[in-house]
A = this chain, B = another copy of it.
Amino acid sequence: MPRAQSDTKAEIRAVALDLFGQKGYEKTSLREIAERLEITKAALYYHFPSKGDLLRALIDPLRQDSEDLVRRFDGPVDDPRELLGAYFDLCVRHGTLMRALLNDLGSLTEAGLVELVMDWRSRLDAALVGENPGTPARMGAVVALGGIQDIAVVLPYGDAAAHREAAVEIALAALRAGTSGMD
């Protein structure tokens, strides 16, 4: 009896996320995924036209959420705290996926995520310090956003949200050291 419409597709995604997270994208073969689902490689090929498409399907929620954030802050920002806090929240919300990606950096490149993130970051930089800031000001923005991300994704292993305010304050200090220190 055939399964319900999107049932197999969902099962494939679940198993793939698990295996990619454990062994990494490149080192996980389609044969392994198929064996664990007790189907064949070719059946996978019916649901996802390639291994890369399967990976991209897993990453899509993070991608869409990030695009929303960038659109929301598409211009000069009066209170950096708002942007820094929202960026923190996003990193926490997708923390599980982001930690999995950290353990498998290769898939970032494979999924074309690196270029996307670089683009988002430069647009958020611009929202924080303008389009053509002095070099130190740009440094401050780079450190502020990168720092928020490091804290939210790497540090917590539990209650990340509890340290949201402290993280924002630290990022703000770096941002100010860049914009006011010299120019």
Contact = CB atoms under 8 A, between A and B. Distances in A.
Interface of A: 24, 26, 102-110, 114, 135-136, 138-140, 142-143, 146-147, 150-151, 154-155, 163, 166-167, 169-174, 176-178, 181-182
Contacts of A102: 114
Total identical chains: 2
Do most interface residues of chain A lie in helix, strand or loop, or is the interface mixed?
Answer: helix
B155 A170 contact: no
Given A150-B146, A181-B169, A139 B163 contact: yes
Nearest to A101: B105
A58 to B, nearest CB: 17
B177 A136 contact: no
Indicate the member of A110, A147, A182 with the most B CB atoms within 10 Å. A147
A59 B146 CA distance: 25
Contacts of A146: 143, 146-147, 150
Contacts of A173: 173-174, 176-177, 181
Contact of A105 (B109, B138, B147): B109
A143 B142 contact: no
A135 B181 CA distance: 26
Q: Which 7 A-B pairs have the closest CB atoms?
A: A106-B106, A143-B147, A173-B177, A105-B105, A174-B174, A136-B166, A170-B177
Given A108-B105, A147-B146, A139 B170 contact: yes
Nearest to A109: B105
A154 B121 CA distance: 12
A143 B151 contact: yes
A167 B139 contact: yes
Contacts of A140: 170
